Amino acid sequence: MSLTKESIAEWFKSLQDDICNGLESLDRTGKFKEDKWTRPEGGGGRSRVITNGQVIEKGGVNFSAVEGPTPQKILDALKLPEADFFASGVSIVLHPNSPMTPIIHMNVRYFEMSDDTYWFGGGIDLTPHYVVKDDAKRFHEYLKDTCDKYDPEYYPKFKKWADDYFFIKHRDETRGIGGIFFDRLKEDDTHSKEDIWEFVKAVGKTFVPAYSEMVNRSKTIEFGEAEKAWQYHRRGRYVEFNLVWDKGTKFGLDTNGRTESILMSLPPQANWTYQHQVETNSREAETLSLLKKDIDWVNA
Amino acid sequence: MSLTKESIAEWFKSLQDDICNGLESLDRTGKFKEDKWTRPEGGGGRSRVITNGQVIEKGGVNFSAVEGPTPQKILDALKLPEADFFASGVSIVLHPNSPMTPIIHMNVRYFEMSDDTYWFGGGIDLTPHYVVKDDAKRFHEYLKDTCDKYDPEYYPKFKKWADDYFFIKHRDETRGIGGIFFDRLKEDDTHSKEDIWEFVKAVGKTFVPAYSEMVNRSKTIEFGEAEKAWQYHRRGRYVEFNLVWDKGTKFGLDTNGRTESILMSLPPQANWTYQHQVETNSREAETLSLLKKDIDWVNA
C-alpha cells in the first residue's frame, strides 16, 4: 500500500483502537467512552475518554484527521503561502489515581499541505509525581530501543528536544523526566518518507508496553493523604505547562479546535498553595532535585 | 504634593494596607502573611496572602513598584525605542470558601517610561460561581457610581472593555459578570494627569465596600456538595482564563516576574470533568446563560 494521507490516518485510527484496548486491559475496570465529532471546515475525530478506572482516574486517547484551508496562524508561523492542509494524529494524556503512578503523554502526528510539503511529529514523556530513578531509566530505555532501530542519532537528539520542550520556564523545572520529542521530520539523504513513517509507528506501539510497565511497577505501592496532596500539587504544575507553554494546546485553542478534546489533558483535580514548601531530604525534595534538563537517565 | 512616580507608588502601598485591613475585618479570622521581594534589575514588592480564613480560602493582595531597562517584549509590543521604565500597582484576587460568594479581582497600575510616556490602567471584575442578578446589578452600580464622578463616558466604555477582556474565547463565555477594565489612560483635552489619578484612586477605594457587600449578601446562604463541586468546576475556568488569555499573567511569566506573586491568582483547588453537563433549568444552567457579553446589569 502506498503511503497516502488516507492510509496514514487509517493506521492512526487503528493505533487508537489498539491503545484503548491495551489500556482497558491494563486498567481492568475502566472503559473508554467515545465522542465522534466533525469540523465545519473539514474532517473530524474520535475522542475517547476513560474516567474513574482502577488505574486511570481521567484520561483521553484522541484520534483526529482534519483538513481544509490552512489557518492563517499556521501560515504566518511557518511563513507559507495560502494552501490547503491535512493533519492527522493520536494524542494521549492519562492521569492515574495513584500518586505513585506517573502521568503519561504521547502524541504522534502527520501534517501535509496541498503543495506536497509534509512532516511527521510526535513524542512521549513521563511525569512521575515521585521520580523513581530505576523507573525513569527503564522508561528511557524503551524509548532509546525504539529510536535506535531507526537511527542511532534519534534518541540523543529527541531526548534533548523533549527536555527543552517539556520545560516549565516560570518554575525553572522540567514537567517530569522527559522522554522524546520530534517535529518537522521528513525525508532526507538517509531516510525515506516510508522509513520515518515506520519510526513514527514504532513510537506509537511503544506506548502500551512502556506505560504498562510503569503502572505495574507502581500500582501496589501504598500511599496516604500526604502523597495525594503532593499529587494534586504536581498536577497543578501540569496544568501550568499545558495552558501556558504547550504549543499544541495554545494553537488548538487559538484556532477554534475542539476545546473538550484539547483540554482532556487537564487533570480531574489540581491544587495550588502559595509558596509551597517541601521538607528537606523528603521524597518530594528528591523529586524536585530531579526535575532538571540533561539527566542521562539511561546511564543513571 | 506633585504627582511623581514615588508619590503614586506610596499611595498604592497605602491602598494595599487599607485593603488588607478592610479584608481582615471582613474575614474576621484570616490574617495576611507578607513576603517582601526585590527584583534584581530594580524595585520590588510586597506580596500579601491570606489563606483559610472564614470568608477567604485563598487570596492575594500584592503591591509592586519595579523599574529598570524596559524588557524587550514590552518595547516590541509597544513599538517603543529602548528606555527605562517604572511600573507600580496593586493586584488582588480572592477565592472565597463559599461557592455562594463570588471570586473577585482588582488591579490598578501606573506605567512610566523615562521619556515621559506614561499611562494608568486598571479594572475590577466579579466572578460569581452562581450569578445572582440583583448582586450583579449592585456590583455594577458601585462601579458606575465611581466612574460617573469622573466622566459619564467611563462606565459604558470600560464596562464593554471588561466584557471583551475577561472573555474565555475557547469556551465562548465570559469569566464572570465583568466589571470595568481600562488601559493606556492618560491626559487629554478634558482630563489632566491629576484627574485620571483621582479616578484610579477612586477605583481602588471602591474595592472594599463593593466586595464587602457581595460577601455580606452571600455569606449566610447554605450550600452542600453539589455547590462545592460546581465551585471547583468554575474555578477550573478561572485557571483557564488566567493561564491562557490573561495578558498580565502571560507577560509576567514571559519576562521572569515573581512567579509566586503572579500565580497567587490561581485557586486552592480546581477540578476538570470531560464534557461537563448541567441540568436543564438548574441554577448552574442559569449561570451559564448569563456568562455573556453586553448584559446591561445596571438596568437588568
Task: Report how far residue B24's alpha carbon sits from residue B214's, in angstroms, rounded to the nearest whole number.
Answer: 15
The residues in B 22-61 lying below 8 A from A, measured between CB atoms, are: 35, 49, 51, 58, 60
- CATH code assigned at B178: 3.40.1500.10
- Do A259 and B170 make contact, defined as CB atoms within 8 angstroms? yes
Lookup result for grid cell 479581582:
B105
Q: Does B300 touch chain A (CB under 8 A)?
A: no
Instruction: Quote the pTM value.
Output: 0.96
Tell me what pLDDT residue B1 has: 52
Residue A121: give the domain boundaries.
5-299
Which regions in chain B score pLDDT beneath 50? none
CB-side exposure of A270: number of CA atoms within 13 Å? Answer: 26
- The nearest alpha carbon in chain A to B249 belongs to A244
- Do B274 and A49 make contact, defined as CB atoms within 8 angstroms? yes
Higher pLDDT: B2 or A292? It is A292
Annotated catalytic, A276?
no
A252 phi/psi in degrees, rounded to 5: -60, -45
Q: Does B293 touch chain A (CB under 8 A)?
A: no
Tell me how many domains chain A contains: 1
Query: For B110-121, what is each residue's pLDDT tens digit?
Result: 999 876 789 999
Query: For A42-64, what is each residue's pLDDT tens digit?
Result: 999 999 999 999 999 999 999 99
Give the Cβ contact number of residue A52 at 10 Å: 11
Task: Report how far residue A38's alpha carbon sits from residue A36's, in angstroms, rounded to the nearest whole number.
Answer: 7
Which of the four pLDDT bands, split at 50, 70 and 90, describes residue A82?
confident
Task: Report how far residue B178's alpha carbon sits from residue B147's, in angstroms, rounded to the nearest whole number.
Answer: 15
- Do B275 and A35 make contact, defined as CB atoms within 8 angstroms? yes
ipTM of the complex in this document: 0.95
- Do B274 and A60 make contact, defined as CB atoms within 8 angstroms? yes
Q: Looking at this protein, which amino acid is placed at residue B31?
A: K
Give Cα B52 to chain centroid, integer Å: 20
Residue B41 backbone class (left: φ over 0; alpha: ψ -120 to 50; beta: rest): alpha
Q: Which of A244, A260, A275 sits opposite B275 (nearest CB)?
A: A260
Q: Does B266 touch chain A (CB under 8 A)?
A: yes
- Do A268 and B271 make contact, defined as CB atoms within 8 angstroms? yes
Give the Cβ contact number of residue B68 at 10 Å: 14
Q: Is residue B253 classed as helix, strand or coil in its secondary structure?
A: helix
In chain A, % of residues over pLDDT 90: 87
* B109-116 long-range Cβ contacts below 8 angstroms, 24+ apart: B110/B5, B110/B8, B110/B9, B110/B12, B110/B86, B110/B200, B111/B85, B111/B86, B111/B87, B112/B5, B112/B85, B112/B86, B112/B87, B113/B70, B113/B80, B113/B83, B113/B84, B113/B85, B113/B86, B114/B83, B114/B84, B114/B85, B115/B81, B115/B83
Helix (H) or strand (E) holding B43: strand B43-51
Q: List, in sequence order, every residue forming a beta bridge with B107; answer none if it has no partner.
A: B91, B123
Question: Which residues in chain B touch residue A49, judged by CB atoms under 8 angstroms apart?
Answer: 274-275
Query: For B9-61, what is each residue's pLDDT tens digit?
Result: 999 999 999 999 999 999 999 999 999 999 888 999 999 999 999 999 999 99
Tell me what pLDDT residue A73 has: 80
Tell me what pLDDT residue A12 has: 98
